[in-house]
Amino acid sequence: MKLIIRFSGLLLYARRGNRLHALAPVSPMHPHVSVLYVERGTPDWPAGTAPQSGLAGQVMLDGRRLAFEGPTPQNSGDPKVPNLSTLTGSSVRPVLLEKEPFESGNDAADVAYLAARVTAVNGMRCGERSGATFFFDADGDGVLDPTPVALANEVFWSVMMPTGDLTVETLPLRTGVQGERMTITPAGGEVWVTVYHVPQDELPGNPPKQHQPGEVIHHFDALYDLLKNPNKRVLPEFDQEVASGDLNPCGWVDPAPPAPPAVKAGAPVPGADPVTCVGGGG
C-alpha cells in the first residue's frame, strides 16, 4: 500500500538517515494549528469511540507525535528547502529528533518549542511546490539576496506501507494531551493525507489572504527556535505570488476545495497560505 503525505505550512524538515522528521514549531505570536486531513481513503475510528479532538477525516496533531514506517528502505533524498542549520551554523535541538521526545525533566525546555512532529521512516521524496518568490539570505551572510527565490510551502513524501488498512496513531509530546488512533482503508491501493501547520484561518475552506511586496514573513522566525542557539535569524521578504515546482508529485491530484461565499469565481484556491507559511530544513 502506498502512502502519500503532503506537508503544508510552517515546518522544519530534518532528514536523518532513513527518517524524515517534519517539525512543527510553537509560534506564540502567530498561533498555528497542526492537523492531519485524510484526502484519499476511508477513515474509521475504533468501534464505540469518538475522536477526542478531530472530525471523521481529521486527526489533531497539536502536542502529539506521529510516525509512518515502511518495511523497506527507499532512496529518499532531501527536501529542496533552505537548510537553516547550514545557514546559521546551528543544529536542530537533538531531543526533538529522538524516538520518544517528551516535555519533562531536562528535555522540557527544548520540547516546549515543538508543537507537533510527523516522522516518515523508509520513505522517499516526491517533490515540492511553491506559491511565491521571496528575497532571502540564501548564502548565510545575514543579508537578503537581491535575486528572489522560490521557497516551498508544500513538500511531498511517499512511504510504501504493508498491504491492508493504515493505522494512524498519535502519541503525546506533553502531559495533559491524549493520543488518538484511527484506521484508513486505502482507495486503489493508496492513502493520501495532508499534514497542515498553519493559522486556523488558513485551513481549507477559508478565503485566501492578500499580501504586499516587501512584507516580512514573521512566521518564519519560529523555525529558528527549533535550532540550538542560532547565531542569525534573517526573515524572508515577500516578492510576488507565482506557482512553481511539481504539479503532480507522486501522482497527487489536489482535491476540489470547498467554495465559501467569500470566495469569488476564479479566485485562488483557498487553503494553506503560500506566503506566510513556508518550510525550512535542518
Q: pLDDT band at 49, cuts 50/70/90?
A: low
Q: Which of 16-20, 29-33, 154-158, 227-231 has the lowest mean pLDDT?
A: 227-231
Torsion, CA 272, CA 31, CA 117, CA 21, rounded to 10 = 60
Cα separation, 29 vs 27, in Å, equals 6
Checking if the pLDDT of 227 tops 80, the result is yes
Torsion, CA 72, CA 18, CA 14, CA 196, rounded to 10 = 10
Average pLDDT over residues 255-266: 45
Average pLDDT over residues 142-171: 93
Average pLDDT over residues 224-232: 88
The CB density around residue 135, as the number of other CB atoms within 10 Å, is: 21
Q: For the stretch 39-49, what's the b/e string if a residue is b when 16 or more beta carbons lie within 10 angstroms of its beta carbon?
A: bbbebebeeee
Alpha helix (H) residue ranges in the chain? 84-88, 108-111, 221-224
Stronger pLDDT, 269 or 82, i.e. the higher one: 82
Q: For the stretch 67-98, what's the b/e string if a residue is b when 16 or more beta carbons lie within 10 angstroms of its beta carbon?
A: ebebeeeeebeebbbbbbbebbebbbbebbbe
Checking if the pLDDT of 140 tops 60, the result is yes
How many domains in the chain? Answer: 1
- Sequence length of the chain is 282
Residue 231, all three cell numbers = 547565531
Cα separation, 268 vs 249, in Å, equals 20
Average pLDDT over residues 188-209: 91
pLDDT tens column, 75-103: 778 899 989 998 888 999 999 999 899 99
Domain assignment of residue 259, given as a range: 2-281
Residue 149, all three cell numbers = 527565490
pLDDT score recorded for residue 269: 37
pLDDT tens column, 25-40: 999 888 999 999 999 9
Residue 92, all three cell numbers = 536542530
Stronger pLDDT, 65 or 262, i.e. the higher one: 65
Checking if the pLDDT of 154 tops 80, the result is yes
Q: pLDDT band at 260, cuts 50/70/90?
A: very low
pLDDT score recorded for residue 254: 84
Average pLDDT over residues 154-176: 95
Q: pLDDT band at 270, cuts 50/70/90?
A: very low
pLDDT score recorded for residue 120: 96
Q: pLDDT band at 265, cuts 50/70/90?
A: very low
Stronger pLDDT, 277 or 20, i.e. the higher one: 20
Q: What share of the chain is helix, strand, coil (3-state, %, to 5)?
A: 10, 40, 50
The radius of gyration of the chain from alpha carbons, rounded to an integer in Å, stands at 18
pLDDT score recorded for residue 209: 84
